Amino acid sequence: MKTRRSPLKKAAVALAATATTLAAGAAIAEGVSYKRMADALHAVMESDRTVYTRVVVNRLTNEEKVIKASEHWKDEKALPLPAQMFRFGAEMVAEKNAGFTYSLLSLWPVNKQNAPRTPAEKEGLEAVVKNPKQPFYTEETLGKTKYFTAVYPDRAVAPACVTCHNEHRDSPRTDFKIGDVMGGVVLRIPME
């Protein structure tokens, strides 16, 4: 595990950072490490994701049975799936050049585009499945940019997660149980 606490003398460099690395630069200027920034961002993501999955989707679809959740929520007048909710947010963040990107990936993805693609993603997803208590941190170079990459376990927090994935035509795994790590959140911060 590698993390860096950048010295304050780098603040000037960081402040001159381009728009794409602004949030990361700000983190460094304040003396916040990449790891702490990633952990904080993930805490927000995980909480919102859990709330939506439990309080909205699982409650209304599984318990109250008043509405369906569907990938084709617009056509079927249904709730967006928790994974879509997460991705829509990630895409909106990406459009804002907010200084970090994130995605929801899995070793058993329904959409094969969400299978690990880089060695860091594969290693990270395997690590968090094996040891759900410990996020995975590394550095990787993609394109011409070096990233601080963190992978967090994404667990089945409600029955809806498990039933939907186990029954989905495109799911490569059908024996998930509540509490299982079904995938991981991969969060990247470009390094200066």
Partner 1 sequence: MFASARAWMLPGPTTHGHYQIELACESCHTSAFTSAEALQQACVGCHGAELKEADDKHPLAKFADPRNAPLLEKVDATMCVTCHSEHRPRMTNAMGVTLPDDFCVHCHAGIAEERPSHAGMGFDTCASAGCHNFHDNRALYEDFLLRHLDAADTRERAQVAARDFVEIAAMLPEYPSDRYPIAALTEAQADAPDHARANATAMNDWLASSHAAAGVNCSGCHQAGAADTWVDRPDHAACATCHAPEAKGFTAGKHGMRLAHGFSPMTPAQARLPMVPQAMDTPLTCSTCHGAHAFETQTAAADACLGCHADRHSLAYRSSKHFELWQKELSGELPAGSGVSCATCHMPRIEHRDPEFDIKRVLVQHNQNDTLRPNEKMLRPVCLACHGLQFSIDALADATLIERNFNGTPSAQIRSLEMARERLREHEAQRNRSAQTSN
Contact residues: partner 1, CB under 8 A? 71-72, 74-75, 90-92, 94-95, 97, 101, 103, 112, 117-118, 121, 142-143, 145, 147, 167, 169-170, 174, 186, 188, 190
**Taking the complex as a whole, how short is the minimal distance between the CB of residue 106 and partner 1, in angstroms?**
13
**Residue closer to partner 1 (CB basis): 50 or 101:** 101
CA angle 96, 99, 102 (to 5 degrees): 85
Q: Which two tokens stand for residue 164?
A: 């939907």
Toward partner 1, which CB reaches closer, 17 or 157?
17
Structure tokens, 111: 């959409």
What minimum distance in Å lies between the beta carbon of 146 and partner 1?
Answer: 10
What does the block give as tokens for 78?
Answer: 């249904």
What are the two backbone dihedrals, phi and then psi, of residue 131, each rounded to the nearest 5 degrees?
-130, 80
Residue placing its CB nearer to partner 1 in the complex, 131 or 145: 145
Name the minimum Å distance from CB 160 to partner 1: 18
CA distances from 94 to 64, 88, 90 (A): 35, 10, 6
CA nearest 2: which of 26, 34, 30? 34
Report the residue number, 133 or 169, with the smaller CB distance to partner 1: 169
